[in-house]
Amino acid sequence: MKKRLSVLVIDEDRGRAALVEQALRDQGYDVLARLDTTDHLADRVEELKPDMIIVDLDSPDRDVLENMAILNQSSPRPVVMFAEQGDQPTIEKAIRAGVSAYIVDGLEHHRMKAILDVAAARFREFQALRSELADAKNELADRKIVERAKGLVMKHNRCSEEQAFKAMRKMAMDQQKPLNDIAKNIISVLELVS
C-alpha cells in the first residue's frame, strides 16, 4: 500500500485554509497542520517533517520569500505557492527561494493533485541536479588538492609529474587511504618544510 503524503498548509485565511485542507484530504493527503504565517518555518518543518508544503496567499512579501529560502537551505521540501497576484520578478524570486511551483489566480481544487504531483517531480529533479553539482564541485576541489600536492612533490623531489603522481598513488595504496587524504598530508608537511 502506498504511503499517504503529508502536507503542511500555510494560509492566514482560516476559511480558505479549511477548503484547501478538505480538498487535500479528499485527494488522499494527510494534512499535518495549518500555519498562519511562514515565521520560523524551518523550525516547524523540522518538527513536523511534512512531505510537501502548500502556501496559499494573496502575494508573497519579502519575509515570506526569505523564510522559503531559509527552509530551502536547511530542510528542502517541495513547496507549492498559490497566489492571487504574480508579477514576473516576484515569481522569479519565489522560484529562487525554493518554491517548486508558483500558481497564479488562486487554487482550483480539482487541479490540486496534478499540480502537487508536478511540483514533487520538479523538486526531485532539482534536488538531483543540486546533488550532481555538489559532487562535481567536490570532485574539482579534490583534483585541485591532488594537483597542488603533486606540484609540491615535483618541486621538493625534482621529479617529473608522472613520477610524483606514481609516488602519491603508491603511498595511498600502501596506507590504504584515499589519494585526496594523502595529498592533504603532503601539502601540510611540505608547506611546513618550505
- Give me Rg for the CA atoms of the chain: 25
Contact present, 146 and 184 (Cβ < 8 Å): no
Query: Which tens digit of pLDDT belongs to each residue from 85-120?
Result: 778 888 889 889 989 888 887 666 667 787 888 888
Residue 86 belongs to a domain: yes
Tell me the pLDDT of the chain averaged across its residues.
Answer: 88
Q: Please identify, among 107, 123, 154, the residue that sits at the C-terminal boundary of a domain.
A: 107
Q: For residue 153, what is the domain's CATH number?
A: 1.10.10.10
3 Cβ contact partners less than 8 Å away, ≥ 6 residues apart:
none
The partner residues of 55 in beta bridges, in order of sequence, read 10, 81
As given in the structure block, the three cell numbers for residue 113 are 493533485
Strands (E), the chain: 6-10, 30-35, 52-57, 79-83, 101-104
Share of the chain above pLDDT 70, in %: 96
Q: Indicate the number of domains in the chain.
A: 2
pLDDT on residue 56: 86
As given in the structure block, the three cell numbers for residue 30 are 494527510
What residue numbers bound the domain in which 176 lies? 136-193
Quick check: helix, strand or coil at residue 84?
coil
Q: For residue 56, what is the domain's CATH number?
A: 3.40.50.2300
Query: Which tens digit of pLDDT belongs to each residue from 133-159?
Result: 989 999 999 999 999 999 999 999 999
